[in-house]
Amino acid sequence: MLVAHLSALLTLLALAGWGQVPPEADCLSGLAPQQPDMGCTVFYATDGEVALGGNNEDYCIPFTKVWFIPAEDGRYGRVYFGYENYIWSGGMNDQGLFFDAMAIDQPVLVPRDGKPVYEGTLADKAMAECATTDCVVALFEEYHTYDTWYHQFLFGDAQGTSAIIEPLAVLRNEGGYQVGTNFYQSTTPENQRTCPRYRAATRMLDGAEAVTVDLFREILDATHVEGDCPTLYSNVYDLTNRRVYLYYYHDYENVVVLDLEAELARGVRTLDLPALFPPNEQAERWAAPAVERLGQERALRPAAHVDPAVLEAYVGRYEVPGEMGLPYPFFGVALDGDTLLFQLKTDKGWYPLTPQSETSFYHLSFNDDFSIEFVPDASRGISHMVYTQPGRTYTLNRIREIQIGETGARVGAASRLALALALAVLGGMLAWAGARRRRALSERG
């Protein structure tokens, strides 16, 4: 359920950033040296002639997507990869800048220190406005962003520089390559970095004679994950030539090559990532239970037709009440054609709503099941929404006016206290999950 997950510190906004346990949550390692053998792997390397980025995306959601966003209004074109509901996890822009997010098992309440709060996702702002890692670091130093409370990022550019942005530190590339998994390198000495994926990628890059796509493919293969939360897709980003080598479900024999300039020229598009590849029986068997469950549940909830003119009345921002314990001051509602979207952020986490009547809607996806009722006021406008998930109901008042730049002030003392409690709960949940995973791996031998 969306808010339940968010209250535990947004584990789909990631998801995705983003409202339930982050995609990598079961493979995390934290401040302690112990690092489980599970999770996402991100790396970058350059030899002075070519710069490449690599990523293995490991998680439990089978519904993976690709988004192409052409350049517009001074913002760079970009491609993102991730999950349903516009939960992107990484990508590359038309300047040869790439990134990917790595979840962490102990969320960090990063002090604001007087910085303005960026109300969107700072990673998207960086990809839309930056061509270099220096630009990215400057943005993260200028703004306070909740992204870094529960993720760290590796950014790399075509000019030969990269950086890992942790919640409380920035680590610059100092040796021609850089590797990130799910632990803080700033607090973990080199001789205590036991994560097998980190060690394998580091060893292979350190001994490489040249930086090539084949080398990166071999590293992806060596660090991929199988099991309940496997490597769903892998990327090699050729930052110099603006190409993406895409692999599906840890099959490194079949590759789809995306020329970013050509793909962006085709306009705004959303693609199902698995559909780009030949049928993969192993992936289909793994995904079948989730596909069947959602199909059965959706069949029990027929959709009603609502005129888009009616839907337009619901568009706006709705204030997040303090009892939700969330860092965001508002959620948004937007209209895309004839589909109403519930937005966690202006640039990430967009959940399509299915109408059951003119005022009642629901959302059902792999991790989320919630409903929304829009309530009119005396003037026939919209007074508020009622958000319901199993066991929880919240009232979110519609925001009539909002001053950009002042949204951070909406997160008052009560919200900060609730958020601190949510952080503590999430830390305990993830520690328990990590211990359970390590125990299972040990029992497996």
With vertex at residue 179, the alpha carbon angle to CA 175 and CA 185, rounded to the nearest 5 degrees, is 90
In tens, the pLDDT along 165-211 reads: 999 999 999 889 999 999 999 999 999 999 999 999 999 999 899 99
* pLDDT of 314 higher than 90: yes
CA torsion angle 169 172 178 180 (round to 10): 10
Model confidence at 147, pLDDT cuts 50, 70, 90, reads confident
> Are 274 and 256 a contacting pair, CB within 8 Å?
no
Q: How far apart are CA 282 and CA 134, in angstroms?
A: 41
Rounded to whole angstroms, what are the CA distances from 47 to 38, 166, 211, 241, 382?
29, 25, 6, 14, 58
Which pLDDT belongs to residue 50? 97
Give the mean model confidence (pLDDT) for residues 111-130: 93
End-to-end CA distance of the chain: 34
Q: How far apart are CA 155 and CA 338, in angstroms?
A: 36
Which pLDDT belongs to residue 432? 44
Q: How far apart are CA 115 and CA 179, in angstroms?
A: 29
Q: Which residue has the higher pLDDT, 254 or 405?
A: 254
> Are 387 and 330 a contacting pair, CB within 8 Å?
no
Instruction: Phi first, then psi: give them for residue 171, nearest 5 degrees.
Output: -110, 115
3-state class (DSSP) for residue 85: coil
Instruction: For domain 308-406, give the fold.
Output: Lipocalin (2.40.128)
Q: Taking Cα atoms as reference points, which of 15, 55, 9, 7 lies closest to residue 365?
A: 15
Q: Which residue has the higher pLDDT, 138 or 328?
A: 138
In tens, the pLDDT along 366-411 reads: 989 999 999 998 887 899 999 999 889 999 999 986 443 333 333 3
- DSSP code string of 32-50: SS---S-S-EEEEEE-SS-
**pTM for this structure?**
0.83
Give the mean model confidence (pLDDT) for residues 248-260: 98
Rounded to whole angstroms, what are the CA distances from 286 to 60, 224, 229, 281, 420?
10, 16, 10, 9, 37
* pLDDT of 162 higher than 50: yes
* pLDDT of 428 higher than 60: no
Instruction: Phi first, then psi: give them for residue 162, nearest 5 degrees.
Output: -150, 165
Quick one: how far is CA 100 from the chain centroid?
9
Residue 2 tokens read as 């969306």
Model confidence at 354, pLDDT cuts 50, 70, 90, reads very high
For the chain, what is the mean pLDDT?
84
Which pLDDT belongs to residue 83? 95
Model confidence at 15, pLDDT cuts 50, 70, 90, reads very low
Model confidence at 45, pLDDT cuts 50, 70, 90, reads very high
Where in the chain are the domains? 11-291, 308-406
Q: How far apart are CA 129 and CA 75, in angstroms?
A: 6
Give the mean model confidence (pLDDT) for residues 150-174: 95
* pLDDT of 17 higher than 50: no
- Angle 133-142/122-129 helices, nearest 10 degrees? 140
Residues 6+ apart with CB under 8 A from 86: 65, 67, 348, 349, 350
Which superfamily does 11-291 belong to?
Answer: Penicillin V Acylase; Chain A (3.60.60.10)
Which pLDDT belongs to residue 362? 97
CB neighbours of residue 307 within 10 Å? 9
Give the mean model confidence (pLDDT) for residues 304-328: 91
Q: How far apart are CA 306 and CA 339, in angstroms?
A: 10
Q: How far apart are CA 322 and CA 122, in angstroms?
A: 23
Q: Taking Cα atoms as reference points, which of 343, 339, 323, 322 lies closest to residue 331?
A: 343
